[in-house]
C-alpha cells in the first residue's frame, strides 16, 4: 500500500512540473503600431540663429513654436543649432505630435544640414542650452516628445559641462512623455563636446533617453549614454545582438524585441489610458467690451430650512464594482491535479480493503 501511495505522489509531482511552465511563461507584450512617416507635407524650420543664406525660409527658435505651426503634423527641419533649455517653458521644449506625426530631421529634400566638422560651426544638431555658470550646474535640460514623433537624420549633441571644464553630473536628456510613441531612427547620430575648455580636456557622455510610464520608444539607433524611466523600449531586430542587461542598468521598464518578447527588465502592467501632455498655442485675447450693467429689482423668496442639519457637498461617487476577474487558470490546474490524486488514493485504499 505504501508503494502505491508513493507512486501516486510521484505522478502528482510530475503533473505539477508539467503545469509550472504554463503558469510561469510570460506572454509577449502587446505593442502599438509604430509611427509612420507624416502624411502632412507641412514644414517648419528651426534654428537658434537663422543662417544668412536661408533668410528666405521662415524660421522659429524653439520646437514648441515649430510644432504649433504644423496643424496636422509634418516635418520640423533643423538647419543650424536647435536649442532646448531648463530656462524655457515646457511648451517651448516640446515636440508635439499629438495632432499628427511629426518628423524632426536635418534633411530637407536633397539638402542635408548636418555639419560636425568644426567645434564652433556645428549645424543640423539638437542640443540642450545649458548655462555653464556654477549656479546652474545641477540643472538638466529635457527635450520633451509628446504624441507620435520620429527623430531621424539629425544629431543629438550633448554639451553639458561646467564652465571649469568638468562634466556635469547628468547629461542632457530626451524624454518620451506618457502616451507617446517615438522612433529613434537609424539616421540619428550622437555627438558630444570635445576638446579643451579652460585648460581641461573634455570627455563628455552622449545624451540620455528617459521614458515615462505609458510611453513606447522604437530604437533603430544605439548611442544614448544611458536609458532611464519605466516605459517600453522596442529594439530593432538588427540591434538585438548588440545590447546587454548592462546597457539598461538604469532602466526600470521593459526592453522587448519587435515581436514584443521580453529581452530585459520586467513585463509592464496593463497600460492605463493616458493623455499626452497638453501643450498650448500662444494665447491671444480679444479686447474686452462690457455691456452697461442693469439691475433687476431684488425679490426675496421666503426662507425655508432643510429638515436635517447636514449640507450637501456634491454628488456621491459611484460605488466601485466588486472584483470578479475570477480565479487564475493555474489555480484550477493545481486543484484538478490534487483532485485526481485524491481520487486515485481513495481508489487504491478501497481496493486494498476489498482484498482483505
Do 13 and 151 belong to one domain?
A: no
Q: Which of 265, 297, 313 is the last residue of a domain?
A: 265
Do residues 76 and 104 touch, judged by C-beta distance below 8 A? yes
Predicted confidence (pLDDT) per residue in 210-248, tens digit: 999 999 999 999 999 999 999 999 999 999 999 999 999
Instruction: Give me the residue label for grid cell 544640414.
Output: 113
Q: Which of 247, 265, 283 is the last residue of a domain?
A: 265
Percent of the chain topping pLDDT 90: 41
Predicted confidence (pLDDT) per residue in 239-276, tens digit: 999 999 999 999 999 999 999 999 999 887 665 544 44
Do residues 22 and 253 touch, judged by C-beta distance below 8 A? no
Residue-range definition of the domain harbouring residue 191:
43-265
Predicted confidence (pLDDT) per residue in 28-69, tens digit: 899 999 999 999 999 999 998 888 888 899 999 999 999 999
Do 99 and 194 belong to one domain?
A: yes
DSSP 8: H
pTM of the model: 0.69
Do 135 and 214 belong to one domain?
A: yes
Return the pLDDT at 355.
Answer: 53
DSSP element (H, E) containing 83? strand 81-84
Please report which confidence band the pLDDT of residue 159 belongs to, taking 50, 70 and 90 as the band edges: confident
Q: Is the pLDDT of residue 290 over 70?
A: no
The number of folded domains in the chain is 2
Terminal-residue alpha carbon distance, the chain: 12
Do 126 and 97 belong to one domain?
A: yes
CA distance 16 to 8: 12
Q: Is the pLDDT of residue 314 over 90?
A: no
Q: Where are the alpha helices (DSSP H) in the chain?
A: 2-24, 63-68, 329-355
The answer to whether residue 59 sits within a structural domain is yes
The answer to whether residue 259 sits within a structural domain is yes
CA distance 240 to 223: 14
Return the pLDDT at 234.
Answer: 98
Query: What is the Cα 4 distance to its own chain's centre?
Result: 58
Cα–Cα distances in angstroms (integers) from residue 218 to residues 20, 144, 185, 338, in the given order = 33, 16, 8, 46
Q: Average model confidence (pLDDT) for the chain?
A: 74
Do 57 and 138 belong to one domain?
A: yes
The answer to whether residue 283 sits within a structural domain is no
CA dihedral defined by 18, 23, 29, 30, rounded to 10 degrees? 100
Mean pLDDT confidence for 77-105 = 87
Instruction: Give me the residue label for grid cell 545624451.
Output: 207
Q: Which of 237, 265, 293 is the last residue of a domain?
A: 265
Do 12 and 47 belong to one domain?
A: no
CA distance 82 to 66: 11
Do 2 and 65 belong to one domain?
A: no
Amino acid at each position: 500500500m505504501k508503494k502505491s501511495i508513493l507512486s501516486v505522489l510521484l505522478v502528482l509531482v510530475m503533473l505539477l512540473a508539467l503545469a509550472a511552465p504554463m503558469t510561469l511563461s510570460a506572454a509577449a507584450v502587446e505593442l502599438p503600431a509604430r509611427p509612420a512617416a507624416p502624411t502632412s507635407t507641412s514644414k517648419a524650420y528651426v534654428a537658434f540663429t537663422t543662417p544668412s543664406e536661408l533668410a528666405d525660409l521662415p524660421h522659429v527658435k524653439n520646437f514648441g513654436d515649430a510644432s504649433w505651426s504644423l496643424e496636422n503634423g509634418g516635418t520640423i527641419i533643423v538647419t543650424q543649432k536647435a536649442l532646448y533649455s531648463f530656462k524655457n517653458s515646457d511648451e517651448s521644449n516640446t515636440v508635439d505630435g499629438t495632432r499628427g506625426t511629426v518628423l524632426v530631421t536635418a534633411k530637407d529634400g536633397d539638402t542635408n544640414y548636418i555639419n560636425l566638422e568644426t567645434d564652433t560651426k556645428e549645424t543640423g544638431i539638437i542640443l540642450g542650452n545649458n548655462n555653464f555658470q556654477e549656479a546652474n550646474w545641477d540643472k538638466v535640460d529635457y527635450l520633451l516628445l509628446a504624441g507620435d514623433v520620429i527623430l531621424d537624420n539629425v544629431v543629438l549633441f550633448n554639451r553639458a559641462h561646467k564652465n571649469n571644464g568638468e562634466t556635469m553630473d547628468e547629461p542632457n536628456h530626451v524624454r518620451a512623455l506618457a502616451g507617446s510613441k517615438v522612433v529613434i531612427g537609424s539616421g540619428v547620430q550622437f555627438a558630444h563636446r570635445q576638446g579643451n575648455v579652460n585648460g581641461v580636456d573634455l570627455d563628455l557622455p552622449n545624451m540620455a533617453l528617459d521614458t515615462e510610464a505609458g510611453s513606447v520608444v522604437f530604437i533603430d539607433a544605439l548611442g544614448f549614454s544611458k536609458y532611464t524611466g519605466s516605459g517600453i523600449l522596442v529594439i530593432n531586430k538588427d540591434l538585438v545582438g548588440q545590447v546587454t542587461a548592462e546597457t539598461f542598468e538604469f532602466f526600470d521598464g521593459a526592453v522587448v524585441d519587435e515581436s514584443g518578447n521580453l529581452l530585459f527588465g520586467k513585463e509592464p502592467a496593463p497600460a492605463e489610458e493616458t493623455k499626452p501632455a497638453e501643450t498650448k498655442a500662444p494665447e491671444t485675447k480679444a479686447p474686452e467690451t462690457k455691456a452697461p450693467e442693469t439691475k433687476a429689482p431684488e425679490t426675496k423668496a421666503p426662507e425655508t430650512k432643510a429638515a436635517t442639519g447636514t449640507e450637501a457637498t456634491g454628488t456621491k461617487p459611484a460605488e466601485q464594482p466588486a472584483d470578479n476577474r475570477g480565479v487564475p487558470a493555474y489555480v484550477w490546474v493545481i486543484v484538478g491535479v490534487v483532485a485526481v490524486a485524491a481520487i486515485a488514493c481513495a481508489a487504491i485504499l478501497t481496493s486494498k480493503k476489498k482484498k482483505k
